[in-house]
Amino acid sequence: MLTRRAFHRLALAAVPVSMAIAKPNSKIAGVQIGAQSYSFRDKPLDAAIAGMVEVGLNECELWQGHVEPQGVPREELRKWRTTVPLDTFKGIKKKFDDAGVKLYAYNYSFKADFNDEEMARGFEMARALGVTRITASSTVPIAKRIDEFASKAKMVVAVHNHSRMDPGEFATPDSFAQAMAGNKNIAINLDIGHFTAANFDAVAFLKEHHEHIVTIHIKDRKKNQGDNVPLGQGDTPIKEVLQLLKNNHWGIPANIEYEYGGPGKNLDTVTEVKKCYEYCKNALA
């Protein structure tokens, strides 16, 4: 006869490894907290996924830099994009699935020098990853062209803002409005840190335009083009934004984009993203 302890040991041994390992869950008070994988830009993809699991995050916006070859000539990158087997992306999706991290969007930043094949391939990559949304650091003048490809693919492209006030850059409320005017498949990836640094009100913008916002990037910056700083040390209304998501049940993922650890600071990425996540949890308490 088996003792109770021996029985439980045998029962545990019979559980598949994928079930025995606890999966992360970072939905806090109804708000999905995740990460832009750019936060783990100092790590290759497998280590980045492991970092998300260690932090406890179960949702990700995948940065193209974790997928594409880095530091190669422009034409070589274009060739890779247009010839890489789509099974490569299906394999990446499996890595995330196995880790218990949901892929929400693919970050593929369309530029003016993309040819048609390169444009279309971004949507094929996204589909192979199992997502229906692309986020893009792009420019206003090519929004109509992006929308044409997005419409054919039946996907949404959420354009990402920075704080630069250069012509054609996404930085102001008007730049978002221009891109969406007449373009049904263009939406918003609101970076509240950059929006604050450009001296705009992220809370007011979220209240007015939440139906067009696909994802929010969580970072902290000072106003007047101020630096990236640890969460809670800048002027970005992070707590107010997270509380809006919570209280209104808007379902917009809030993805941590860790950027304040620049060259020479020797900060551990996983440790800092954990701090960002703890700040978000406390803000939602």
One digit per residue, pLDDT tens: the chain, 285 residues?
Answer: 445 444 344 444 443 434 445 789 999 999 999 999 999 999 999 999 999 999 999 999 999 999 999 999 999 999 999 999 999 999 999 999 999 999 999 999 999 999 999 999 999 999 999 999 999 999 999 999 999 999 999 999 999 999 999 999 999 999 999 999 999 999 999 999 999 999 999 999 999 999 999 999 999 999 999 999 999 999 999 999 999 999 999 999 999 999 998 766 789 999 999 999 999 999 999
Q: Maximum CA pair distance of the chain?
A: 78
Report the sign of the C-alpha dihedral through residues 222, 186, 174, 116, in that order.
Answer: positive
CA distance 207 to 171: 18
CA distance 107 to 267: 25
| CA-to-CA dists, residue 7 to 11, 16, 53, 73, angstroms | 6, 17, 30, 60
- Angle at alpha carbon of residue 269, lines to 57 and 200, rounded to 5°: 75
Q: Of all helices (H) and strands (E), which one includes residue 260?
A: none
pLDDT of residue 244: 98
Alpha helices in the chain (DSSP H): 4-13, 17-20, 45-55, 74-83, 87-99, 116-128, 143-153, 173-180, 192-197, 202-209, 238-248, 269-284
pTM: 0.92
Three-state secondary-structure class, residue 152:
helix
> Each residue of 11-44: pLDDT tens digit?
444 434 344 457 899 999 999 999 999 999 999 9
Placement of tokens 């559980």 in the chain: 15
DSSP state of 211: G
Placement of tokens 């019979």 in the chain: 14
* Of 42, 103, 79, residue with least CA distance to 255: 103
Q: What count of residues does the chain have?
A: 285
Please report, as a single letter, which amino acid is at residue 10.
L
pLDDT of residue 217: 98
Q: How far from the centroid of its chain's Cα atoms is residue 150's Cα?
A: 19
As given in the structure block, the two tokens for residue 168 are: 């054609």
Domains of the chain, by residue range, sit at 24-284
CATH number belonging to domain 24-284: 3.20.20.150
